[in-house]
Amino acid sequence: MKLTLYTMLSYIIFLYIFVKVIKTLPMKREKRSLPPSSGLFNAKPIFNDYFDDEDSYLDDEEEDLGDASYAEAVYHEPKKKSQSQRWKINFNKTKDDVFIIEGDIRLTVNQKLHTAPIFDTPNKRSRRAARSKEPEYLWRYNTIYYKIDSNFGRETKREIKLGIREWKRTMKNCLKFVRLDRDPKLERRVSQERFGGGPVHHILLTKTDTGCWSNVGRVDTNFQNQPLVLGRQVISIGDGCGERGTVIHEIGHAIGFWHEQSRRDRDKYVKIVKNNILYGQKEQFKRMAEKQVGSMGYAYDFWSVMHYGPTFFSKNGKPTIRILKDFRYLKPNMGQRIGLSYLDIAQVRAMYKCNILPSKESSSKCINKKTKGRDYRGTLDYTENGVMCQPWNKQYPHKHDYKLYNQKDGLGKHNFCRNPGGDRERPWCFTTLGPGFNKWEYCDIKKECKS
């Protein structure tokens, strides 16, 4: 009797444990098999919590791409000698240079005839809001779908992934980069939900024998004015220019950037040395018409990944672009192809309106009236006018002198809103706008905490 009782008890305990173990198994399995991008396309409005998921922005990378934190490097890393060499390829191999301007920009016939303005000024915001249509050169839903063609070698493919990774990292709460070529199901879903079952408008990064080039902004037709085939907007990554920095640069064009040195106001900052330019290449250094390129008041950016280097298109190795005296003290790494500069990031965010709508940050945070928000340690990094803040340790476009407060007031390398010394009404920051614009603005935190 005793024996059977023991056997029965141990049997029951065994059963209990067995059931418990079995229950946990499928859960684990389920967790593992969830697609990395699930929940992405719930047809939510563009900004409303759309980017809230701590999106694993490396989810489509199977290999370890190493540590890549470029933003800081942009301002320190010395120039590489090979830059001008690499760039020569862009135009030498170009067949139909009718449509290629500035080395690597490919225009559609439409763009060539009447180029769409790429930026608006902040003052025109109300007018912009009145427009019913989204500017057609911007990527809808702030989402850039892309495919990487299979015609790349291993090394180039890696560089392309690193370039895209830099965009994902810096635009994390603003633009979404979604790879399609590895997930036909996802592509079908996007097609249904956003393109009425038609082809998904995407960037195809592909290898051609015409060097590296891209269109400016989102385009509906190819450079011969034909509708895109299967929604493909091509970025060409040819032989000899398949490096991370160039990939970042070409994607920059597709996002909506022209070259920085083609800005209307560039002659205030740099001098183009015509005598040193390669024969027939003076076109590369043209200024754009005001209609074509606006900079929304953002400071001229010597560090931009969209800026040419000092000897690009040089016939004799001597500079084709010289920095004017007043700015030489900055010692900019001009023509860098390491990563996006903070002004690049600021401009993309402005272009795609990522700073305008109230963020979760500003709606949830409140400031202490007594301290005037001196104790605010949140990560909000733009002003109430939707302008991104300049990092506190930068000296351009505005000069900071807040080293004194570094520790006590939470300042440092970042560009978050602060109120050092409690000097102003509430957290503020220096802006990324250029000279002649407000040097500082209040941040988008207005709520006072109820005590």
Binding span for Zn ion by CB under 5 A among 5-13, 33-41, 96-104, 117-125: 96-104
**What minimum distance in Å lies between the beta carbon of 91 and Zn ion?**
11
Shortest distance (Å) from residue 222 CB to Zn ion: 18
DSSP state of 289: P
From 32-40, 98-106, 174-182, 361-369, span contacting Zn ion (CB under 5 A) = 98-106
* Nearest CB to Zn ion, comparing residues 304 and 333: 304
What value does the CA radius of gyration of the chain take, rounded to a whole number of Å? 26
Q: How far is the CB of 433 from Zn ion (least distance, A)?
A: 24
Beta bridge partners of residue 389, listed in sequence order: 431
Among residues 329, 277, 337, 272, the alpha carbon closest in space to that of 307 is found at 337
- Under the binding rule (CB under 5 A), the answer on residue 409 touching Zn ion is no
Q: Is the dihedral of CA 345, 300, 223, 116 positive or negative?
A: positive
User: In the numeric block, which tokens belong to residue 433?
Assistant: 């706008």
Residue placing its CB nearer to Zn ion in the complex, 175 or 306 = 306
The torsion region of residue 156 among left (phi > 0), alpha (psi -120 to 50) and beta comes to alpha
Q: Which is nearer to Zn ion, 186 or 255 (CB)?
A: 255
| Calpha distance 174→402 (Å, rounded) | 29
By the rule CB under 5 A, 344 interacts with Zn ion: no
Which residue's entry shows tokens 């476009």? Answer: 397
For strands 176-179 and 270-272, give the pairing.
Answer: unpaired
- State the minimum distance, in angstroms, from the CB of residue 249 to Zn ion: 5
Q: Is 303 within 8 Å of 343 (Cβ atoms)?
A: yes
Is residue 104 at the binding interface for Zn ion, with CB under 5 A as the rule? yes
DSSP state letters, 324-346: -GGGGGG---TT--SS--HHHHH
Select which of 159, 250, 260, 384 is catalytic: 250
Cβ closest to Zn ion, residue 104 vs residue 381: 104
- Diameter of the chain by CA atoms? 108
CB of 248 to Zn ion, least distance (A): 11
Q: Closest CB to Zn ion among 104 and 344?
A: 104
Which residue's C-beta sits nearest to Zn ion? 104
- Within positions 31 to 90, which residues make up the interface with Zn ion, using CB under 5 A? none
Please report how close the Cβ of residue 286 comes to Zn ion at its closest, in angstroms. 13
CB of 217 closer than 8 Å to CB of 224: no
- 3 state SS of 118: coil
Q: Considering the complex, state which of residue 48 and residue 82 has its C-beta at the smaller distance from Zn ion.
A: 82
Q: Is 155 a catalytic residue?
A: no
Stretch that binds Zn ion, among 103-111, 119-127, 320-328, 398-406 (CB under 5 A): 103-111
Span from 15-23, 104-112, 137-145, 328-336 in contact with Zn ion (CB under 5 A): 104-112
User: Least Å distance between CB 40 and Zn ion?
Assistant: 30
Q: Identify which range of 49-57, 100-108, 159-167, 196-204 contacts Zn ion by CB under 5 A.
A: 100-108
CA distance 220 to 235: 14
Q: Give the nearer residue to Zn ion in terms of CB position, either 161 or 259.
A: 259
Spatial CA neighbour of 42 closest among 141, 136, 170: 141
Contact of 165 with 57, CB cutoff 8 Å: yes
Any idea which residues carry the catalytic annotation?
A: 250
Residues lying near Zn ion in the complex (CB under 5 A) are found at 104
